[in-house]
Amino acid sequence: MNQDYIQPDPWSIIEEGFDKEQVKSSESLFSIGNGAMGQRANFEEHYSGDTFQGSYIAGVYYPDKTRVGWWKNGYPEYFAKVLNAPNWIGINVTVNGEPLDLNTCKEVTDFRRELNMREGWYRRSFKATLPNGVEVRINVTRFLSLDFDEAGIIRYEVTPINAQAEIKFEPYLDSGIKNHDTNWDDKFWNTTNVISDGGQAFIEAHTMKTHFDTCTFMESELYHNGEKLDVAPAATTSELFVGHEYIQKADKGETLALHKFGGYTVSRNHKADGLITAAKKVLKKVTDFGFDELLDRQKDAWAKIWEMSDITIDGDVKAQQGIRFNIFQLNQTYLGTDSRLNIGPKGFTGEKYGGSTYWDTEAYCIPFYMATKDQVVARKLLKYRYNHLGKAIENAEKLGFSNGAALYPMVTMNGEECHNEWEITFEEIHRNGAIAFAIYNYYRFTGDYSYIPEMGLEVLIGIARFWNQRATFSTQKNQYVILGVTGPNEYENNVNNNWYTNYIAKWCIDYTVEQLQKVKDGYPEDYGRIIGKTKLTDAETEQWQIVASNLYFPKSEKLGIFLQQDGFLDKELITVADLDKKQRPINQKWSWDRILRSPYIKQADVLQGFYFFEDHFTIEELEKHFDFYEPFTVHESSLSPCVHSIQAAKLDRMDQAYTFYLRTSRLDLDDYNKEVEEGLHITSMAGTWMSIVEGFGGMRVIDDKLSFTPRIPDQWKSYSFKINFRNRILKVTVDQEGSKFKLEGKEEMSIRVNGNRLVLNPGSETTA
């Protein structure tokens, strides 16, 4: 770990004491979001110290022109990125004419931040002595409403401590914002309208090129010792800015509070010419409720989320805090209300990765959303890819494939490829497999087959066509091979016959052929439509099967293991344990070529295949492969520890599983990778959830039934989680004695625990 200033607490993230060095880290860690918008924990009042501003609107992106040193044919022209949006949170504060700025105060004491995850709000409080000698107590509470997801609410309280003082609040909107992440310093936003209208203000601005129209809005109320004052603000407007001034005196000990209601209306959801009208409607609603009632509704909304998705851990507050932080952030990022949206690796907490979609969604996030939400949410995530199928086919065509072969992009916003690193963009093609696997996984878990005839089969056909064309025949091996790929372990590039890629390629074809038959038999109308649309012939599927059944898999007979790729055993096989610690992390200490020729593995690769397809292999085979590959794994991807935690648990190596668990669940809180100030690792947080539910809980779906093999780390007294399995809610509690299962609803359900059938009756807890 790299930091430990976050206070342990089961439900809150807490920082105590003001440290300028931690401002940017805390801006990430205390981020808030509601699925539609997100906000880093920037101060409302002016701060002249080092800060990383970030306000984001889901789905509002800009295609930034690709920047490369050396162009390769096939590179996309643009990288679509979610932009830093106009600032709606700003409230400049002056005390007797002196600006409040934490960077210049004489003294700051009692500084405390709390992100209350249970209730969904963020609070910052401190006492400050301004350069003019006035002492004030500040208390700011902020949240992004789950009920009204275009709005955020701030209550900014100022209490003079040592003297009467004149306080000026200047809530403002500012569209003079910049992206840190920009390839060419393009102008991203064009501001077209700045309006102050009584107590309300609006800035209309659109993104360049994509022309997303947005209206950033605000309205404020001033309170004196809890009493609302009827004051009209003075307004300042300029080209990119509108501010409102509220000036009021407060005696020692009296509290002035500004309630600011703000947010965005966007042309994704409204008519472009009706954004101000829509904003006024939102403001009407939220001001009618007022701060307190909105906060109550926020607590209720989060209570509902926690009701289903909470995981409790008893006896290990850091582990408890870690898992809740992960679950909280996932829910802040994506709530499944909009199938045009997806889950970016940094969510709304930073600019890195452009807020775009990676294979992380299918490989890591879908299990979490399937089990903790209604199945419609996971279906929306699948539909997102179905909607992008045309673009995936175009993407494959750009790379020379034809006949409806689909290659889903490595990184995307609207279905087009954004990424431009040949060894990834063109070669990390296993992502196509994860997208097919998610379809299988969705059906396996939810039992909802309808997605496959309605949408999924077309996706599968595009993917199977891709693999069929991508494999080539090796006369020498008399088998099909897949040359020039990058596997999940990105510390190998342009290798031949990455075992994971070959394995998932074969699986994709086999699974598609199986589904074709199933849809033909059970959904003849859909089948006819799909065959008509895709022009799929029997001859073509036969060719697929020839490829699938003659695909080559590298292995070592001597070691009895599959090889990560051709030639892996030619490396200098020095384990990570024998690697000088000063050389790590290798992605910071070594040049790229040195990493590539080393045996070190960034994240599960062969073991990712053993995770996806565990029922294809015996536990002995898993153990052999885990024992061979894990010692070479440096876990320098946030997606690495979770899969290893699950497999270590399965192998009953609970100490190792627990170590991996801590690393995944507190990756950001403890800043293992020394980069939390750039934002949080949102998608890997779903892997943390898997570590508990699938790792420690041993949850699987086998033959349409839930199955558990519960284990518990020595460090814990107990833990519990809930699963929504095919609209049945099951609570699982595991302690050092054993496990208990409690079913909601009315009908009984049978599950398997440690291989034994267990019939659960609703309402009562059953001990296994």
Binding site for a second copy (CB under 8 A): 66-70, 72-74, 398-400, 420-423, 426-427, 472-477, 481, 483-484, 493-496, 566-567, 569-573, 587-594, 596-597
Q: Annotated binding residue at 360?
A: yes
Comparison of 49 and 567: residue with beta carbon closer to a second copy: 567
Pairing label, strands 189-197, 165-174: unpaired
Comparison of 200 and 598: residue with beta carbon closer to a second copy: 598
- Is the Cβ–Cβ distance between 202 and 193 less than 8 Å? yes
Shortest distance (Å) from residue 602 CB to a second copy: 14
**Which listed residue (490, 630, 677, 694) is catalytic?**
490
DSSP-based three-state secondary structure for 154: strand
Comparison of 245 and 566: residue with beta carbon closer to a second copy: 566
Element (H, E) at 647: helix 640-650
Q: Following CA atoms 85, 89, 92, 93 in sequence, which dihedral angle do they give, to the nearest 10 degrees?
A: -170
Respond yes or no: is residue 621 known to be catalytic.
Answer: no
Report the C-alpha gap between 230 and 223 in whole angstroms.
9
Report the C-alpha gap between 495 and 423 in whole angstroms.
10
Report the C-alpha gap between 481 and 416 in whole angstroms.
27
Shortest distance (Å) from residue 363 CB to a second copy: 21
Classify the phi-psi angles of 441: left when phi > 0, otherwise alpha if psi is within -120 to 50, otherwise beta.
Answer: alpha
Q: Annotated binding residue at 285?
A: no
The two tokens of residue 43 are: 């101060």
CA distances from 559 to 370, 501, 534, 647 (A): 38, 21, 44, 20
Q: Annotated binding residue at 603?
A: yes
Q: Rounded to 5 degrees, what are φ and ψ at 88?
A: -110, -10
| Nearest one of 295, 262, 298, 294 to 280, comparing CA atoms | 262
How would you label 69-102 residue by residue, b for 16+ Cβ within 10 Å and e otherwise? eeeeeebbebbbbbbbbbbbbbbbbbbbebbbbb
Comparison of 535 and 558: residue with beta carbon closer to a second copy: 558
Residues in Cβ contact with 501 at an 8 Å cutoff, skipping those fewer than 6 apart: 429, 430, 433, 482, 485, 487
Shortest distance (Å) from residue 306 CB to a second copy: 39
Residue type, 316: D
DSSP-based three-state secondary structure for 262: strand
Q: Following CA atoms 15, 640, 79, 404 in sequence, which dihedral angle do they give, to the nearest 10 degrees?
A: -150
The two tokens of residue 183 are: 């390839």
Shortest distance (Å) from residue 683 CB to a second copy: 19
Element (H, E) at 650: helix 640-650
Comparison of 493 and 645: residue with beta carbon closer to a second copy: 493
- Is the Cβ–Cβ distance between 686 and 695 less than 8 Å? no
Residue type, 63: P
How far the first Cα of the chain sits from its last, in Å, is: 37
Shortest distance (Å) from residue 78 CB to a second copy: 12
Binding-site residues sit at: 359-360, 602-603
Binding-site residues for substrate sit at: 359-360, 602-603
Catalytic machinery residues: 490
